[in-house]
Amino acid sequence: MLKEKDILDERKSKILRQKSNEVTFPMKEEDISLINEMIMYLRLSQDEEYAEKNNIRAGMGLSAVQLGKLKRFFVISYKKEDGTFEEYKVVNPKIVSNSTELIYVEEGEGCLSVNRYVEGIVPRYARVTVEYYDEFGNKKEVRVREEIAVAFQHEIDHLNGILFLDRIDKKDPYKNKDNMRSI
């Protein structure tokens, strides 16, 4: 079972700044198992009682590189209001289209690999269409919006060696805020 200590910290790990490698199919059994562990970790992290008891932060996305594996895959587990989860297992993703509308997370974007608050806004597309494969090599396409779109873009950035804080303007952390919608 994954533990928070397994997630690399941006201050200590250079691997987070490297571009991840395409995955070939069939995927290794150990990678498929890791994907399932990543999903379970995210589900549990969103259970307030479990998270508090085990002293872990809530997360909705996790990429392989955050676990020290330079492989182009990530998972998203988003707990909906009804308590069910919207989940994605994403391998070799490519954004094929995006909205012109930009959004940002009002309370600030966070990351399981950045253990501190970072002031500023991260411009993201409000909607993106992503082509990817599941862990069995089946080609998929999904159009996501709002929080899920932010999560997809955040995790794809990880696969390209980019952290969310790189997208915040250092001189003006709230640059162009009035030209975007907060979520």
| Number of domains comprising the chain | 1
Q: Residues 20-67: pLDDT tens digits?
A: 999 999 999 999 999 999 999 999 999 999 999 998 999 999 999 999
Q: Which two tokens stand for residue 163?
A: 């952290």
| Residue 12, pLDDT score | 87
| Residue 100, pLDDT score | 98
Residue 76: pLDDT band (50, 70, 90) is very high
Could you list the residue range(s) of the whole structural domain that residue 85 is in? 4-182
Rg over CA atoms, the chain: 16
**Percent of the chain scoring above 90 in pLDDT:** 95
Kindly list the catalytic residues.
155
Residues, the chain: 183
Q: Residues 107-130: pLDDT tens digits?
A: 999 999 999 999 999 999 999 999
State how beta strands 102-104 and 181-182 pair.
parallel
Q: Residues 127-167: pLDDT tens digits?
A: 999 999 999 999 999 999 999 999 999 999 999 999 999 99
Q: What is the CATH number of the domain that holds 34?
A: 3.90.45.10
Yes or no: say if 183 and 105 are a contact pair by the CB < 8 Å rule. yes
Residue 1: pLDDT band (50, 70, 90) is confident
| Residue 18, pLDDT score | 98
Yes or no: say if 150 and 72 are a contact pair by the CB < 8 Å rule. no
